[in-house]
Structure 1
Amino acid sequence: MSTQKPAHDVIVVGGGTAGCVLAARLTQNAEVRVLLLESGSARLPEAVAHPPSWPSLAASEAGWGDTTVVQQASGAPVALPRGRGLGGSSAINAMVFARGHRTSYDSWSEHGAKGWTFDDLLPYFQRTETATSGAPGRGTRGPLTVGPAQHPNEVLLACLDAAIETGHRRAFDISGGLEEGFAPVDLNIVDGQRQSATDAYLTPVLDSPNLDVITGATAHRLLFEGNRCVGVEYGVDGRVFTARATRETVLTAGAIGSAQILLRSGIGPEQELRAAGVQVFHPLAGVGRNLHDHPRTNLVHQVQRPVPTARNNHGEILGLLRSTPAADGPDVQIIFIDIPLPNPVAPVQNGFTIGISPMRPASRGSLRITSADPYAPPVIDPRYFTEEEDVRAVLSGITTARRIAGSSALAEWGIEEVSPGLAAVDEESIADYARTYFGSYCHPVGTCMMGEDEVSVVDSALRVRGLDGLRVADASVIPSIPSNNTNATVYAIAERAADLLRRS
């Protein structure tokens, strides 16, 4: 039995980073009635607010608990944390706020996307933030207060000194998108607590009379009249409801969720939809394709000197580097982490980790559904490290990380590399370690790729190709992942989407 709710002008499906931004910006116009649907809860674990506690959140009720299929590279599935609840992944992530180097946005136009260069996005990046660094090109009046850790961990500062000692550039603002090198990165931490998209954007507008927020609402499918999307069918506590949008419906459920909703609505590759028992409504071959993510390999070290207890997000300092001088921009990130992460060799009680990630991965995968059941888990296959150039990028980063660990700036800490350790000294064994023991950096993108060609899902205005009244505005539209922890980019995409909706 379906119960119809009063119509709204705009329905936003997904209350994560992008959904919070859109709800806040669109309700600034008192004449626009907005409905925000979120499958998770408005009440999240207390640990969400405590920055060092973020590693525990993916396994809590604030996460979906997704895993990939068995990966070709490693022979094992990979956990793929993403947020569930208001704030989405901004409520469970590691709070790194960085734009990525400007060169990593150059490829966004390869499929015809217009107006999405770094310079085009810069005003929207600036609109999101009040950056405490005062660096040129940063925002000064945005909802998010972002800046480097106020009390960096001593071991991480020693890692930064070691990077400089071994010849790397000390960047001034590694978060701004214009520099390479190493520096403290901006964080979404304010007065010692996480600042999520809910905190910065949604909470200040929750009492707006033109905003309705429904949590615990799982989107089942989109509703159409002809080729026009007119609303959403969703479920709450076993009951089914329909909501109508007089202007537009916007999917902001992320790289996994937005593609799932399209597929359940019969929008996607015909053969896959039929195999899942879903009636084809609108063939669109690109839905669920182009899934990619940053994998991360970790070098875990034990140390003799006690590592101070973490105050912040554990990963306060990072570097952006080129794997080869011929690279057209930085394509490797090295991040220093003030805890010894679990590793395949031996548990470490006192130590730290150096994480290495290929920032411009070539490997591409897919997302599928197995049925129209909105509560069935998706089939997620990023196909990590299936392209050899991603392995080569990590090898370059590991070589750099080992030089840093061996510098005199870190000698007083009494360092020993435990994982992979001396078992991996030649290129073949190091590559085997990288392919086998890695995790997701939790930045999936690309399943509703933006462009103007036949493999694109949305056009340059984020409208689903061939349909009216329907847009996607989240990480799923990113054609090629930028060289950053992607949350800052999603904020900017959503800010621009709000502008596009205002003009429509």
Structure 2
Amino acid sequence: MEFDYIIVGAGSAGCVLANRLSADPGIRVCLLEAGPPDTSPLIHTPVGVAAILPTRHVNWAFHTVAQPGLGGRLGGRLGYQPRGKVLGGSSSINGMVYIRGHRSDFDDWQALGNDGWSYEDVLPYFRKSERHHKGSTDFHGADGELHVSPAHRHPATEAFVAAGRMARHRYNPDFNGEDQEGVGYYDVTIRDGRRWSAASAFLNPARRRSNLTVLTGARARRILLEGKRAVGVELTLNGSRVSIKARKEVLLAAGTFGSPHLLMLSGIGPSAELQPQGIAVQHELPGVGQNLRDHPDVVLCYRSTDTSLLGVSLGGSLKMGKAVVDYVRHRRGPLSSNCAEAGAFLKTRPELERPDIQLHSVIGAVDDHNRKLHWGHGFSCHVCVLRPKSVGSVGLNSADPAADPRIDPNLLAHDDDVQTLLRGYRITREILAQSPMGRFGLKDLYSQDLHSDEQLIELLRRRTDTIYHPVGTCKMGHDETAVVDDRLRVHGLEGLRVIDASIMPTLVGGNTNAATYMIAERGAEWLASA
């Protein structure tokens, strides 16, 4: 089989690329996805995220190496890293929150030497993808495929926003508008009560095109090289090894873990990582797998007396039964919720120029990625550090393509991250102690009697993990650790680009899915003009 472009990974970036490139009928495109089609009803029912995250259902469910920074007195813990293994990738299992990041994040990319990546440069590409519920404005698009809608609003969500204002944080009607700071409601990628993933928005409309081939259950094994040019991909399909060729380019969109993993399996990366696994070095590139950045996150978890919040009880089951009927008939009610309906971007110190923490208010008790369940009903609130100083890496556990990559996010390794998270924890407790939250009878499950810095830091090290925003392992730039240039071409090779969240040189201040769509829009335009 031969195509013009082979795209590895049908996640957020891969679906955009498949749509944009196949719009030219003269171009043949092949999209590879290791997971299955997105037929699970848990994907399309927004509240189903609560069931997907803790399981291996359409989920790679990776684990990290032991994290010394997450140990507390009990020693290093293994972190948990859910990632989508299905058409739509992580956009099919994420919390559906649409946040772009702070405008200065992209100006930072430009300042690092990446021409054309300032906020003014990237804003048109955010707008291009977007079909925003408020229509076309200076900050939002109305003609794109990605429906961006207001989140469902549970009474506890409204109370959280009111509590934030009572705690002296200003209300922000649009976190993606002129300014990010404040407390408010999230916009979400939900359309008419159903998750609007990358597969729904971008891939499904393109699948009728005869020049687009989509292969599911297709696990890439290595990139085929002829000298310093990528010419195809070897993959496992239906239990057999198959090689397919690319006349123009191979495009890696396998994500922050998958893209560097495949590069290293192909002999592209640091020799110190490849040689111990018996992989011959085809192209020395020391930055592959380095610069892993993620938002460390801790969840304040509460039991509640209010049975309208998500949970397990006799009275709650009756309400949920009615909610199921309402959802099936009208696509509304709590099953249409992404669970994280509101949040905040706040400064933990007044002298900061931009928010350094983000909150996600959740209408249920989320404990250990929902892997630890509690009888009754609850409420929780995530608090994460937006620009952590701790940096990790992705490497190889084996030369076997079926083996998981070695993931070391190095969370809370830097004391500044710990101190920022501590201040954020205290700010969040203050918000949740305000009177609007009183009607929900909240009882703190983990920090009720903890007040000193020492006590809370011990708690943070026991309970912190990822909030699912890994980036950076194929960093864009021009220094010795950069993997791609500012047009996303792999340094030193021809016919190979990486186009996904792994190219971000630094984390954006917020959820990373929207920025991934933008990156793919940019990459597709450069390919079309190549």
Task: Provide TM-score, normalisation by structure 2.
Answer: 0.91
Per-residue CA deviations over 1:138-195 (Å, capped at 9, x if unaligned) read 111110110212x401111101100011110100101347321011111111111101
Per-residue CA deviations over 1:305-363 (Å, capped at 9, x if unaligned) read 33345330110101011122232311100111000122699946222001100011111
Question: What's the counterpart of residue 14 of structure 1?
Answer: 9
Per-residue CA deviations over 1:14-69 (Å, capped at 9, x if unaligned) read 11110000000001111111111111111442111111110221313311120001
Is it true that 1:69 corresponds to 2:65 in the alignment?
Answer: yes
Per-residue CA deviations over 1:421-461 (Å, capped at 9, x if unaligned) read 21x21112112211221221111111000001111000000
- Label 1:385 to 1:399 Cα distance change in 2 as closer, same or farther (>3 A): same
Partner of residue 347 from structure 2, selected from 319, 322, 335: 322
1:210 CA displacement:
1.0
Question: What's the counterpart of residue 390 of structure 1?
Answer: 417
Partner of residue 341 from structure 1, selected from 347, 350, 366: 366
1:105 CA displacement:
2.6
Structure 1 unaligned spans of 5+? none
Partner of residue 22 from structure 2, selected from 20, 27, 30: 27
Is 1:164–1:170's contact at 8 Å kept on the other side of the alignment? yes
Question: What's the counterpart of residue 485 of structure 2?
Answer: 459
Is it true that 1:113 corresponds to 2:114 in the alignment?
Answer: yes
The more displaced of 74-83 and 108-117 is: 108-117
* Amino acid corresponding to residue 385 of structure 1 in structure 2: L
* Amino acid corresponding to residue 315 of structure 1 in structure 2: A
Partner of residue 436 from structure 2, selected from 383, 405, 409: 409
The more displaced of 379-388 and 236-245 is: 236-245
Cα distance in structure 2, aligned partners of 1:127 and 1:196: 16
Is it true that 1:52 corresponds to 2:47 in the alignment?
Answer: yes
SS of alignment partner, residue 274 of structure 1: helix
Is 2:394–2:406's contact at 8 Å kept on the other side of the alignment? yes
The more displaced of 121-130 and 43-52 is: 43-52
Percentage of identical aligned residues? 39
1:110 CA displacement:
5.3
Cα distance in structure 2, aligned partners of 1:172 and 1:471: 37
- Label 1:20 to 1:177 Cα distance change in 2 as closer, same or farther (>3 A): farther
Cα distance in structure 1, aligned partners of 2:389 and 2:292: 11
* Amino acid corresponding to residue 474 of structure 1 in structure 2: D
The more displaced of 338-347 and 66-75 is: 338-347
Question: What's the counterpart of residue 357 of structure 1?
Answer: 384
Question: What's the counterpart of residue 499 of structure 2?
Answer: 473
SS of alignment partner, residue 163 of structure 2: helix
Question: What's the counterpart of residue 319 of structure 2?
Answer: none
- Label 1:177 to 1:63 Cα distance change in 2 as closer, same or farther (>3 A): farther
Per-residue CA deviations over 1:51-88 (Å, capped at 9, x if unaligned) read 11102213133111200011111211011000011100
* Amino acid corresponding to residue 265 of structure 1 in structure 2: S
Is 1:155–1:307's contact at 8 Å kept on the other side of the alignment? no
* Amino acid corresponding to residue 12 of structure 1 in structure 2: I
- Label 1:497 to 1:405 Cα distance change in 2 as closer, same or farther (>3 A): same
How do 1:247-262 and structure 2 match up within 5 A? 247-262=248-263
- Label 1:265 to 1:288 Cα distance change in 2 as closer, same or farther (>3 A): same
SS of alignment partner, residue 156 of structure 1: helix
Cα distance in structure 2, aligned partners of 1:451 and 1:307: 49
Partner of residue 433 from structure 1, selected from 459, 464, 482: 459
Cα distance in structure 1, aligned partners of 2:149 and 2:194: 13
Is 1:27–1:211's contact at 8 Å kept on the other side of the alignment? yes
Question: What's the counterpart of residue 99 of structure 1?
Answer: 100
Is 1:231–1:245's contact at 8 Å kept on the other side of the alignment? yes
Cα distance in structure 2, aligned partners of 1:339 and 1:220: 40
Cα distance in structure 1, aligned partners of 2:374 and 2:64: 25
Question: What's the counterpart of residue 212 of structure 2?
Answer: 211
* Amino acid corresponding to residue 427 of structure 2 in structure 1: T
Question: What's the counterpart of residue 183 of structure 2?
Answer: 182
* Amino acid corresponding to residue 147 of structure 2 in structure 1: T
Is 1:171–1:180's contact at 8 Å kept on the other side of the alignment? yes
SS of alignment partner, residue 293 of structure 2: coil
Question: What's the counterpart of residue 32 of structure 2?
Answer: 37
Cα distance in structure 1, aligned partners of 2:307 and 2:219: 46
Per-residue CA deviations over 1:214-250 (Å, capped at 9, x if unaligned) read 1111111111112111111111122111111111110
Cα distance in structure 1, aligned partners of 2:433 and 2:180: 25
The more displaced of 412-421 and 271-280 is: 412-421
Question: What's the counterpart of residue 315 of structure 2?
Answer: none
SS of alignment partner, residue 419 of structure 1: coil
Cα distance in structure 1, aligned partners of 2:69 and 2:482: 27
SS of alignment partner, residue 452 of structure 1: coil
Question: What's the counterpart of residue 325 of structure 2?
Answer: none
Is 2:299–2:367's contact at 8 Å kept on the other side of the alignment? no
1:111 CA displacement:
4.2
1:277 CA displacement:
1.1
Cα distance in structure 2, aligned partners of 1:322 and 1:174: 14
Cα distance in structure 2, aligned partners of 1:194 and 1:51: 5
